Amino acid sequence: DTAVSQTPKYLVTQMGNDKSIKCEQNLGHDTMYWYKQDSKKFLKIMFSYNNKELIINETVPNRFSPKSPDKAHLNLHINSLELGDSAVYFCASSQAGRAANEQFFGPGTRLTVL
Amino acid sequence: QKEVEQDPGPLSVPEGAIVSLNCTYSNSAFQYFMWYRQYSRKGPELLMYTYSSGNKEDGRFTAQVDKSSKYISLFIRDSQPSDSATYLCALLGVALTFGKGTMLLVSP
């Protein structure tokens, strides 16, 4: 199936731990994104990569580090997890430029920090 | 003032009703206007997009943009229980900025 996939789907961990979320898209898109959706369902962009290059980095703590090994993958590593990091994290992809309005989202990773 | 304002609802309607969902925005730099639908525990999916003032129709869905008033709307005709979801407006400038989403409940 052509899609944006994320692993894991659920992640429960203790404060202070380090965790990673993986994202892969097989749509042939140039641009990938990470979004955070908080408990109030507000969806906000965190990062955007175009052809493995960081193009958007919103005011996100530097404990969050995206890594793009190739243009089909964008992983999110989070150090020293805090309670406030609990949220659903969505990966998305699109073509670059004006086509960035057509973003395809993954199913989300529900992170719970205890 | 938030960049994009959207009433969170919930909005409850009977099957067959016409639904109107709205967003207002403050930044004139937004160039594209989208509506995404998000079912519970799923990722958002793009419903419609437009870049000019006026109406755009796709089946039972009509997107309307009024750039002079900075107001966008999504109309759903003949609403169905399967339309029950959260609808997010999204505006593209440098990045995609989402409204908070309106939860729609269509009862049979």
Q: Which residue of B has its CA nearest to A46?
A: B95
**Number of other residues whose CB lies within 10 A of the CB of residue A1:** 4
Highest mean pLDDT among A21-25, A39-43, A62-66, A102-106: A21-25
Confidence of residue A107 (pLDDT cuts 50, 70, 90): very high
Give phi and psi for A85, each to the nearest 5: -80, -10
In angstroms, the CA B65 to CA A15 distance is: 44
> pLDDT higher for B86 or B51?
B86
Q: What is the DSSP string of B15-44?
A: TT--EEEEEEE--TT--EEEEEEE-TTS--
Which three-class secondary structure state does DSSP give residue A72?
coil
Q: For residue range A18-44, what is the model confidence (pLDDT) as tens digits?
A: 999 999 999 999 899 999 999 888 899
The Cα B84–Cα B76 span in angstroms is 11
DSSP A84: G
pLDDT at A98: 63
User: Counting Cβ atoms within 10 Å, is residue A55 exposed (0-12), middle (13-18) or buried (19+)?
Assistant: middle
Q: What is the mean pLDDT of residues B4-11?
A: 90
Which residue of chain A comes nearest to B39, CA vs CA? A107
User: Under an 8 Å CB criterion, which residues of B touch A?
Assistant: 8, 31-32, 34, 41-46, 49, 51, 86, 88, 90, 92, 94-98, 100-101
For every residue of B57-82, DSSP letters joined together read: EETTEEEEEETTTTEEEEEESS--GG
Residue A72: per-residue pLDDT = 93
Interface test with A, best of B96, B97, B100, B102 (most A CBs within 10 A): B96
Q: Per-residue pLDDT averaged across B86-107, rounded? A: 92
Please compute the mean of the pLDDT values over residues A37-54 and round it to a whole number: 86
C-beta atoms of A43 and B88 within 8 A: yes
The string of pLDDT tens digits covering residues A75-86 is 999 999 999 999
